[in-house]
């Protein structure tokens, strides 16, 4: 079984400032890692994913995340945020053994609020 | 590509009635579809996994007789909330996975807001 912890429920940040959204996971098996964004009353959109290879993953909208196996973390970063980045962000894992495209376990989400 | 739609986007129904939510993969064949439930300001909770042509697999604690899932074709899955009650009010999101597309990725629909009065 896996679990995902997003310690920050809300992160306020000024426009053009950098941001980091934290994600830690727990799993007894190797995992795939994902970050999704959800705008109000909408479904989820994939920002980026880590499957294998380079631990630094670049995604859409200027976001990137780094997989740290020793710290079991997959923090999301953006060097300069925009008002339009205001949304809910979810970290998720799925286990490699079942092919990864199966059961996703989500964190509780982090509300990113970008202010002028 | 990899578009998933849901219908309706919002529905209000009276307590005791049933409501059906459709999830369609528009440009790919979805061998597996997932149904999630999201409470306000909370994470997504997986309710069930359905594979085309077979019975859905429900997560622990999800009442299969209350939340009927049908995955009759490779592009359509339906979730029927039977005898709905106000506590069933929630945001329901489906996702789809295909072996033709990236097998380790799920594509999400826009969600359906259900309000039971």
Tokens of A60: 């859409």
Q: What is the mean pLDDT of residues A75-103?
A: 87
Q: Is A40 on the interface with B (CB under 8 A)?
A: no
User: How many whole angstroms separate alpha carbon A89 and alpha carbon A63?
Assistant: 12
Q: Please provide the average confidence, as pLDDT, over all residues in chain A.
A: 91
> Least CB-CB distance to A106: which of B43, B102, B105?
B43
Q: Is A100 on the interface with B (CB under 8 A)?
A: yes
**Residue A42: pLDDT band with limits 50, 70, 90:** confident
- Of all residues in chain A, the one with the smallest CA distance to B104 is A101
A41 phi-psi bin (left φ>0, alpha ψ -120 to 50, beta other):
left
Q: Is the pLDDT of residue A100 over 60?
A: no
Tokens of B85: 């009650």
B32 contacts on A by Cβ (under 8 Å): 101-102
Q: Is the pLDDT of residue A99 over 60?
A: no
B113 contacts on A by Cβ (under 8 Å): 41
Q: Is A48 on the interface with B (CB under 8 A)?
A: no
Tokens of A15: 């426009």
Quick one: pLDDT at residue B52?
Answer: 83
Quick one: pLDDT at residue A41?
Answer: 76
* Cα B108–chain centre separation: 10
A43 contacts on B by Cβ (under 8 Å): 4, 6, 93, 95, 108-111
Q: Is A52 on the interface with B (CB under 8 A)?
A: no
A72 phi-psi bin (left φ>0, alpha ψ -120 to 50, beta other):
left
Chains A, B: CB contacts within 8 A come to 58
Residue numbers of chain B with a pLDDT score lower than 70: 1, 99-104
Q: What is the mean pLDDT of residues A75-95?
A: 95
Q: Is B64 on the interface with A (CB under 8 A)?
A: no
Quick one: pLDDT at residue A2?
Answer: 85
């Amino acid at each position: 079984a896996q679990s995902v912890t997003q310690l920050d429920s809300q992160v306020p940040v000024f426009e053009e400032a950098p941001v980091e959204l934290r994600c830690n996971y727990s799993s007894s098996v190797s995992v795939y890692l994902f970050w999704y964004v959800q705008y109000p009353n909408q479904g989820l959109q994939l920002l980026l994913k880590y499957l294998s290879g380079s631990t630094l993953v670049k995604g859409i909208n200027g976001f990137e995340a780094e997989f740290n196996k020793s710290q079991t973390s997959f923090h999301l970063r953006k060097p300069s945020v925009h008002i339009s980045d205001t949304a809910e962000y979810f970290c998720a894992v799925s286990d490699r053994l079942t092919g990864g495209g199966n059961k996703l376990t989500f964190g509780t989400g982090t509300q990113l609020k970008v202010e002028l | 590509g990899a578009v998933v739609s849901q219908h309706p986007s919002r529905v209000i129904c009276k307590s005791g009635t049933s409501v059906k939510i459709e999830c369609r993969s528009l440009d790919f064949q979805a061998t597996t579809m997932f149904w999630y439930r999201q409470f306000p300001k909370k994470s997504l909770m997986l309710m069930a996994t359905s594979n085309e042509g077979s019975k859905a697999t429900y997560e622990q604690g999800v009442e299969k007789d209350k939340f009927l899932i049908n995955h009759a074709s490779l592009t359509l899955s339906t979730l029927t909330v039977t005898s709905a009650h106000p506590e069933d009010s929630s945001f329901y999101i489906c996702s789809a996975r295909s072996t033709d597309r990236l097998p380790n990725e799920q594509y999400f629909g826009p969600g359906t807001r259900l309000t039971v009065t």
